[in-house]
Amino acid sequence: MTETNPTTAATEQKPKKESLQPKKESSQPKKESLLANLLINIVIPTLILTKLSGDNWLGTKWAIVVALAFPLLYGLHDLYRSGKVNFFSALGTISVLLTGGISLLKLDAEYIAIKEAAIPGLLGIATVASLYTRWPLVKTFLYNDMVLDTAKIARVLAGNGNQGAFERTLQHASWMIAGSFFLSSTLNYILAKLMLQSPPGTEAFNIELGKMTMVSYGVIFVPTAIILLLALFFLLYRIVKLTGLKLEEIMAQQ
């Protein structure tokens, strides 16, 4: 009978134990880079439109094509990477295509102003309309499993009979979200009317379009983001009050 060396046996078993351990890194989804998002969607298109629209560079038409290709390709890359259609990425892609189409066809700048106002305006209307369906959009924007432990919240609300009060809370939060979209719609239209003064198809129009792209993220994004944050804080405050749970107990476990 052959004797087994305990040290050798332990050494042989060790790699097997390590191979059974799950690799956490492979299961982690890659996070989107905020810097890359800002560069590709704002900074690079703005620089191309404002600096390369002259006849000595790309010219007015090609400057628009190249500038808008960056956010368009970035949206398509996001679709390929995630393997599913992201509603907001799709909306951004449509917006880019409309801007490019209107500019290349040399339509009146009024159409761009209408387009800029229409997209957030439609989102606001959709948010309000979704309250009368089984899938309110507030659950997509704020009340979802990525942010909150919705299963625990629903269980506690059912136990203490506060489901009706919580539904009213979701309605109030929905109106706040819709209000942020309507504000964005109004500011988009005003900004486009103020900044797009030159005829489409000219170098001056491209420069104005580039500047509008850059300015809009400060003028429009900041107040809209503030309203959305207020809606989130309101929702968290009401959930804590209606469930009796602490804030850390209702947050989704990452």
Residue 6, Cβ density class (10 Å: 0-12 exposed, 13-18 middle, ≥19 buried): exposed
Map residue 53 onto helix, strand or coil.
Answer: coil
Instruction: Determine, yes or no, domain membership for 27.
Output: no
Looking at residue 74, its pLDDT comes to 82
Q: Give the separation between CA 105 and CA 110, rounded to whole angstroms.
A: 13
What is the arithmetic mean of pLDDT over 4-12?
A: 47
Please report whether residue 20 resides in a domain.
Answer: no
Q: Is residue 153 part of a domain?
A: yes
Q: Could you tell me the two tokens for 202?
A: 């000219």
Give the model's pLDDT for residue 194.
94
The residue that leads in pLDDT, 139 or 34, is: 139
Q: For 30, phi and psi rounded to 5 degrees?
A: -70, 130
pLDDT, one tens digit per residue, over 60-73 is 889 888 988 888 88
Per-residue pLDDT tens over the stretch 21-43: 444 444 445 555 667 777 787 78
Gap between the Cα atoms of 71 and 96, Å rounded: 7
Structural domain count of the chain: 1
- Could you tell me which residues are beta bridge partners of residue 251? 148
Structural domain boundaries, residue 129: 33-250
Q: What is the pLDDT of residue 231?
A: 93
Does 10 map to a domain? Answer: no
Predicted pLDDT at 56: 83
Confidence of residue 129 (pLDDT cuts 50, 70, 90): very high
H helices present in the chain, as ranges = 6-20, 24-27, 34-38, 44-51, 59-82, 87-104, 109-129, 138-141, 150-160, 163-195, 203-219, 221-243, 247-250
11 found inside a domain: no
Ramachandran sector of residue 191 (left: φ over 0; alpha: ψ -120 to 50; beta: rest): alpha
Is the predicted pLDDT of residue 182 greater than 90, yes or no? yes
Is 85 a residue whose pLDDT tops 80? no
Q: Tell me, what's the pLDDT at 96?
A: 81
Give me the phi and psi of 199, to 5 degrees please: -65, 140
At 187-244, the pLDDT tens digits run 999 999 999 999 888 899 999 999 998 888 788 888 888 998 999 999 999 999 999 9
Beta-bridged to residue 148, according to DSSP, are 251
